[in-house]
Structure 1
Amino acid sequence: MNYLKYLILCLIFSGCNSPKQKLQAVNFDQIENNQDSILITAVGDIMIGSTYPSPLHLPPNDGINSFKAVQNYLKGDIVFGNLEGTFLNDDTPPKCNDSISKNCYAFRMPEHYGKIIKNAGFNVLSIANNHINDFKSLGRKRTTKVLDSLNIHYAGLINKPYKSFTIKNKKFAFLAFAPNANTLSIHNLNEAKRLVDSLKKENHIVLVSFHGGGEGTDFEHVTRAPEIYINENRGNVYAFSHAVIDAGADLVLGHGPHVTRAVEVYKNKFIAYSLGNFCTYGKFNISGPSGIAPILNIYINEKGDFMSAKVISTAQSKSEGLTIDSLNNAFYKIKNLTDADFKGHQLDFSKVGYIKLK
């Protein structure tokens, strides 16, 4: 049917949309209920209480209610987060020493806290970050043993760079990168591309996470350049994300800056540049922008292409812990930063709490 005939029929029967409008229309309920779509729920940093430097940094009720307010939203084929610390009962000396301990951040979650995270719904975690080294080799060893015992998939250490698994008859590979010792390096783009390319040949979907970028409200924007924080190169997260997608990655999830950042769709693949502080108890700055973060329900198709995303905004406070934010601050933060950092982007934020292609 040519366009003129289409317009005539529309005038006769009224209420028709133009072909262009029909192509753009997105039914979010239809996507969410599509049995062939893959739902990946993603959040940022998780550290639900530390015995270092004292038990004063443990949450009320032994952390059992850490995720209570958001439990209904942590659903999906994959539920992902960044484990910002270690699981360790041992009193091993941390990376800190007495002279710097006041301003040193080391996180030692009791090992039974792993079950709280498991019961919340998480089945894939990144351990590629600076805090996996907080209690040296024993901390890394005990953390991986706890995750293995709970059947939680994880990746990011040099000796555990990736993990492959099957969900809904689809083979997935998950990789995690960081600029820190003992982790898969965010700086070596050639090696990252080689590894992603190799895994894409053996798996349907390749998921990549990175811990990168500067920290705090001075680093809300994606700069497209190496980010230096306290004399450390935290990586060029824009170049890294594009490089791994060029090599075959289907989704890139960022964390590390402790604030929410922009999102992007590149070659039909979704990138979240920072998911912020999600559930972080104790010695964390959760004031202002550092205290808001999204839960992203990301829908991709069987080819790994982006379909749509739902943004559930959350907030943290010292008195109430993690809660749902009815003001949708994380959603608006993502929208405004995406508009600022990726001018001319092809994402539509017109429905509050949702992201789709224009």
Structure 2
Amino acid sequence: MRTTCVRTFISLILVLSVLLSAGIASAEKTITITFTGDVTLGGVANEQGRPDSFDNAVKDKGYDYFFSNFREMFEQDDLTVINLEGPLTDSGANKSSKLHVFRGNTEYAKILAQSSIEAASLSNNHVGDYGKQGEANTKKALENNNIKWFQDYTYYLYEKDGVRIAFFALQNSVLYTQRAKFLKKIAEAREVDKANAVIVCWHTGTEYKRYHDEDTERKVTGLIKDAGVDLIIINHPHVAQGMGVINNRSVFYSLGNFVFGGNRNIRTGKVPKDPLAISLYGLVVQAKLTFSNENQYLGQQMTAYPVFTTSSNPDYQPEGELTQKLLFPNDYHPMRLTMKQAQAVYEIMKQDTSIELPPMTEKDGKTEIVFPYLPSFDGVMIPENDDTVDKAGAPGAPSAKPTREKKNSTGK
């Protein structure tokens, strides 16, 4: 009797082992990555001593202050990525002669390290504000604090649980003049480094315009369809814009600003290029990328979090189409929004997105926009204008060309 029980127990263990093995074999892996708008740690050189400067905020508030409203989110993801819009260098040598020149001290890299930020894109128009030496100092400061950086042809290969994701930072001078070389580099990441997914952080667009450029849309379509890029995040316009879905890959056309020391005040209207562009509004975007147990890319699910780039005036509500220029003090402390606060950010995003945005939802009192899961379809394409095809989650979903019904002389 005892022998029979032992054999039965062993048999059950074997059956459970087989079932568990089968479950593990079919399991999916999820990598969660968070992206923010432009980050400038520092500011304009001749404003460093002002009471309302970023540098003074560091002295008064400490390193933990700036990203504190998002630290829990950043700690819970696998990777947090910023666009670092400006050098970290202790020297004022080799200063650029252009109008807006930013600089922060090398010690400010500790702000990122203490805020659970792990990677920084360096392809932008301010990283070289203090020349090659200032750029080199920036990279060294990041490396000393275990912050990965990526720039143009130097990509960052992130790896977890066998999954490899290549991060590229891109600026227009590369894509517009050396496109073939850049696409070859993406292919190298796939073939040589065995990247299972490719993400491009592109610095492009027109500053302070609430609509993305049509040329940008053509270029991102090419990156996705020709190079197989899986996700594109764009920074530079300093205002929130819309998003698009191309071949079941997401594109966010501008996340706006985030912790932005370059502006001591936040502008809400009367911008010459677009009177309705509002730099108070921004987005934090989180991507959940799924992979098979064999590390094959399966799909993505995106969530957008509307933000104010300063928390100095949390109750601000625009009244209709802004006709006056308003300035809010920048406390360099972006904040998550309630449903009421987020409505204006949602409307701005909606105006620049042709696909239907999911409704906003509220979680723990804060607003989020949760997008449907987009399966990879292994590169199978469906014609964009084929109405006979069910496009729910299909790669033929229309690209984000907004109707722009409010088009005027300041629009596109």
- Give the shorter-chain TM-score range: 0.7 to 0.9
Unaligned runs of 5+ in 1: 1-33, 226-236
From 305, 313, 326, the equivalent of 2:337 is 326
Question: What is the aligned counterpart of 1:49 among 42, 49, 52?
Answer: 42
1:210 to 188, 202, 217: 202
* Partner AA of 2:231 in structure 1: L
Instruction: Give the distance between the partners of 1:186 and 1:144, measured in 2 at CA.
Output: 25
Asked which structure has the greater CA Rg, the reply is 2
In structure 1, what is the equivalent of residue 369 of structure 2? 354
- Give the secondary-structure state (helix, strand or coil) at the position aligned to 1:130: coil
Aligned to 2:261: 281
Inter-partner Cα distance in structure 2 for 1:95 and 1:325: 35
Indicate the residue corresponding to 1:256 in structure 2: 236
Residues 1:223 and 2:213 aligned together: yes
CA apart distance, 1:347? 4.5
- 1:283 CA displacement: 3.3
- The equivalent position to 1:110 in structure 2, one of 88, 105, 111, is 105
Indicate conservation of the 8 Å contact 1:213/1:257, yes or no.
yes
Matches within 5 A, 1:57-76: 57=53, 58-62=55-59, 63-64=62-63, 65-75=65-75, 76=77
Q: Where does residue 307 of structure 2 map in the other structure?
A: 313
Cα drift, residue 116 of structure 1? 0.8
Change over 3 Å in CA distance of 1:238–1:144 after alignment to 2 = same
Equivalent residues of 2:90, 2:106 under 8 A apart: yes
Is 1:293 aligned with 2:282?
yes
Match of 1:138 in 2: 133
Counterparts in 2 of 1:87 and 1:112: CA distance versus 1, 3 Å:
same
Distance, in Å, in 2 between the alignment partners of 1:333 and 1:250 is: 29
Number of aligned residue pairs? 300
Q: TM-score, normalised by structure 2?
A: 0.66
Spell out, residue by residue over 1:14-61, the C-alpha distance to the aligned partner (whole angstroms, 9 max, x if none): xxxxxxxxxxxxxxxxxxxx9722211110111122371243231324
Q: Secondary structure at the match of 1:278?
A: strand
Structure 2 gap segments, 5+ residues each: 1-26, 269-277, 292-296, 313-328, 363-367, 373-391, 393-412
Q: 2:247 aligns with which of 254, 258, 267?
A: 267
The SS at the match of 1:321 is coil
Tell me, what secondary structure is at the counterpart of 2:371?
strand
TM-aligned CA deviation for residue 330 of structure 1: 8.5
The AA in structure 2 aligned to 1:279 is V
Question: Given the superposition, is the C-alpha separation of residues 203 and 85 from structure 1 closer, same or farther in structure 2, using an over 3 Å criterion?
Answer: same
Equivalent residue, structure 2, for 1:81: 82
The normalised TM-score by structure 1 is 0.76
**In the superposition, relative to structure 1, how do residues 328 and 314 fare at CA in structure 2: closer, same or farther (>3 Å)?**
farther
SS in 2 for 1:74: helix
The whole-number CA distance in structure 1 between the counterparts of 2:160 and 2:341 is 29
The C-alpha deviation readout for 1:252-297, integer Å capped at 9, x for no partner, is: 1110000011012221211111111100124365222202212222
The match for 1:229 is none
Q: Contact 1:262–1:337 (CA<8 Å) still a contact in 2? A: yes
| 2:80 maps to amino acid | V
> Percent of counterpart pairs with the same letter?
20
CA distance in 2, matches of 1:309, 1:208: 18
The RMSD of aligned alpha carbons is 2.6
Closer/same/farther in 2, CA of residues 336 and 189 from structure 1, 3 Å limit: farther
Choose 276-285 or 129-138, whichever is displaced more: 276-285
Q: Is the 8 A contact 1:220 1:260 kept in 2?
A: yes
The alpha-carbon deviation at position 114 of structure 1 amounts to 0.3
